[in-house]
Amino acid sequence: MIIECDKFKSHQVLIEDFFKSDQIAIIEFGRMRNTSEAHKFGDGWSTYTYARSEKVKVLYSVDNNPETIQVCKEAIPVKDLNKIKFLSDYTEYSRRNELDLIFIDGPNESKINLDFLDYIMPLAKDDAIISVDDYSIGNKHKEIEPILKDLGYKFDIVGDMIVFSK
């Protein structure tokens, strides 16, 4: 399935179309980094949309740039900020069988994103959905895609994300 939409809308579509639960736990690799309109549609503002969604109960947001925390505090209402756990390194996350969605949007470098998935995937729920941004322009998915396909995952395209599910 291919769902055409802009990057900002794609996160809302993912939440609405791929999840029945209203208690979703998410980890994102790569956080909202700028409040400008250009970044809203260029990056997607994943942190903003996931934190504001009523279907999301917790968002673990991983980014090694501490300035992005201030960006989120400026853009996201306090009641929604409370559900974000800000992490500077993904190894700070260690909970088992909690995550429903693993969203990958780190640096434009294949190996770092794969290393993140290697660490997080064994901790996530068995049926967790894995989405990777910048499918058309980046190389974030390059090493991840063949591995997940070998494991039997099917995939869909939502905006510029490739979305893997069992």
21 vs 65 by CB, closer to ligand SAM: 65
| CA 73 to the chain's CA centroid | 18
**Alpha helices (runs of H) in 62-162, residue ranges in sequence order:** 67-75, 78-81, 110-120, 144-150
86 vs 155 by CB, closer to ligand SAM: 86
Site mask for ligand SAM (CB under 6 A), range 54-83, x = bound: --------xxxx--x---------------
Q: Is 57 exposed, middle or buried (0-12, 13-18, 19+ CB in 10 A)?
A: middle
**Residue 148 is encoded by which pair of tokens?**
């997940």
46 lies in the site for ligand SAM, by CB under 6 A:
yes
**Nearest distance from C-beta of residue 123 to ligand SAM, angstroms:** 17
Beta-carbon contacts of 118 under 8 Å, excluding residues fewer than 6 positions away, are none
Query: Interaction with ligand SAM in 124-153: which residues (CB under 6 A)?
Result: none
- String of b and e for 91-101 (b: at least 16 CB within 10 Å)? eebeeeeebbb
Stretch that binds ligand SAM, among 73-81, 102-110, 120-128, 147-155 (CB under 6 A): 102-110
Member of 14, 24, 45, 56 binding ligand SAM (CB under 6 A):
45
**Nearest distance from C-beta of residue 19 to ligand SAM, angstroms:** 18
∠ CA 25-73-100 to the nearest 5 degrees?
Answer: 10
Rounded Cα distance, 129 and 102, in Å = 6
**Nearest distance from C-beta of residue 105 to ligand SAM, angstroms:** 4
**Nearest distance from C-beta of residue 63 to ligand SAM, angstroms:** 4
Using CB under 6 A, list all residues that contact ligand SAM: 30-33, 43-46, 62-65, 68, 105-107, 112
